[in-house]
Amino acid sequence: MKIEKAFIDGILVVSPDVFQDDRGYFYESYNESTLKSQGFEHKFVQDNISFSQRNTLRGLHYQAGEFAQGKLCSVLKGCVIDTAVDIRFNSPTFGRCFQIELSDDNHTQLWIPPGFAHGFSVISDEVLFSYKCTNFYNKASERTIIYNDIDLNIDWKIESPIVSDKDKKGKSFSSIEKDFIYEKLKS
């Protein structure tokens, strides 16, 4: 398993060792000991899986306060453009987004620590998206930034996105509260 730091402090790209032959493939999607040996010290308490069709856009979501979540994201079937937006005030990358293609072909995972809004767009016919969370879901702590915010200007790589009513009512990026203040992370 290989862990690479992204250009935004705290974001990690995790690439598992994939063993493939004419029968298919095998890989460890999570190994606490292996990740710990590379400095990854986070504990997961909840796993989530969503199924979506092409052009679905989910996000931009985060939880604030004591229920802030870190997420280890992966795709079990299909392909997405996974997006994390730095919402940590005073961060040198505040308001910048990191995007990566996650798929059942590349098996890449994305670690998104607390202090980021998260969303993804589906670029395959359908997708099974999986993410491990460091904290439990709490509706009162949930926040949403509008997916098409003009300040963020995110290219979701899809046309005519299918978006939930909740996500259509997200706040503008410029109006988010100071839920997170940047401190250099240990990853």
Give yes or no: 61 in active site. Answer: yes
* Sequence-separated (6 or more) residues with CB below 8 Å from residue 153: none
Both tokens assigned to 147 = 């997916």
Given a cut of 90, is residue 185 above it in pLDDT?
no
Active-site choice (61, 62, 118, 147): 61
Return the bridge partners of 107, or none.
none
Active-site choice (62, 107, 118, 131): 131
- Does domain 2-18+41-166 fall under CATH 2.60.120.10? My reply is yes
What percentage of residues in the chain have a pLDDT greater than 90?
87
Give the model's pLDDT for residue 187.
47
What single letter denotes the amino acid at residue 126? E
Nearest CA among 179, 61, 65, 70 for reference residue 118: 61
Number of residues that this document lists for the chain: 187
Given a cut of 90, is residue 141 above it in pLDDT?
yes
Q: Which of 23-27, 71-75, 168-172 has the lowest mean pLDDT?
A: 23-27
Q: Which residue has the higher pLDDT, 35 or 123?
A: 123
Report the alpha-carbon distance of residue 139 to residue 38 in Å, rounded. 33
> Is residue 186 very low, low, confident or very high in pLDDT (cuts 50, 70, 90)?
low
Given a cut of 70, is residue 150 above it in pLDDT?
yes
Give yes or no: 131 in active site. Answer: yes
Q: Per the omega criterion (within 30 degrees of 0), is the bond before 110 cis? A: no
Mean pLDDT confidence for 23-30: 91
Residue 44, phi-psi category: left (phi > 0), alpha (psi -120 to 50), beta (remainder): beta
* Sequence-separated (6 or more) residues with CB below 8 Å from residue 56: 121, 122, 127, 161, 162, 163
- Tens-digit pLDDT profile for residues 41-59: 899 999 999 999 999 999 9
Mean pLDDT confidence for 128-156: 97
